[in-house]
Structure formats: C-alpha cells, structure tokens
C-alpha cells in the first residue's frame, strides 16, 4: 500500500489540553505528523488518514514525546485558541 506523511507546525498562543495527554500544554509551536494511505480501488488518488501524532516538549526528566491524537480534538483545541486570541483583540 502506498503511504505518505504530512508534517505541519501548529502555533498555540494560549495553554491548551488534548485528550490522552495528562497535563496542560504550554503555548508554542508543535509539530504534527499525519500518515495517510492511498485507497487504490478508485480511478483518482484519494488518501485516508491512518494516524495523527503530535510532538510534545520534554516534561520533567523525559525526552520529547510523540502522542497519537484525534484530529477532531486537535482541531477543537486550535479553534479554542483562535477564539481566545480574537477575544483578547476586542
């Protein structure tokens, strides 16, 4: 199966939380990696996301963590951050 990996950097301006992460996360830039696989039965290229992970900064004595996240939960955290940012501008 053909797979591809997409990498994006998300910037959060406010502390945020994600399901599956046991601590609040600090504002900053976070790398997000999504793996997708090609659905080969179609006459045009379509990819299906199979995993999304976020890299977290070191916490305590640990090194950088990579945590699987739900893309919908990540989008909701981005939206909350956007709303907080726009509320502070008004």
Q: What is the pLDDT of residues 35-78, one digit of tens each?
A: 999 998 888 889 999 999 999 988 776 788 899 999 999 999 99
Could you tell me which residue, 88 or 51, shows the higher pLDDT?
A: 51
Collect all residues with Cβ–Cβ distance below 8 Å to 82 and sequence separation of at least 6.
Answer: none
Report the alpha-carbon distance of residue 28 to residue 14 in Å, rounded.
Answer: 8
Provide the domain limits for residue 43.
Answer: 3-89
For 77, other C-beta atoms within 10 Å of its C-beta total: 21
Judged by DSSP in three states, 60 sits in coil
pTM: 0.84
Of 55, 64, 65, nearest to 10 (Cα)?
Answer: 55
Task: Look at the chain and report how many structural domains it folds into.
Answer: 1
């Amino acid at each position: 199966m053909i797979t591809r990996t997409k990498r994006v950097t998300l910037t959060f301006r406010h502390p945020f939380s994600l399901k599956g992460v046991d601590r609040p996360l600090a504002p900053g830039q976070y790398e997000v990696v999504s793996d997708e696989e090609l659905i080969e039965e179609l006459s045009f290229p379509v990819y299906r996301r199979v995993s999304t992970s976020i890299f977290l900064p070191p916490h305590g004595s640990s090194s950088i963590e990579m945590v699987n996240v739900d893309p919908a939960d990540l989008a909701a955290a981005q939206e909350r951050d956007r709303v907080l940012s726009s509320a502070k501008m008004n």
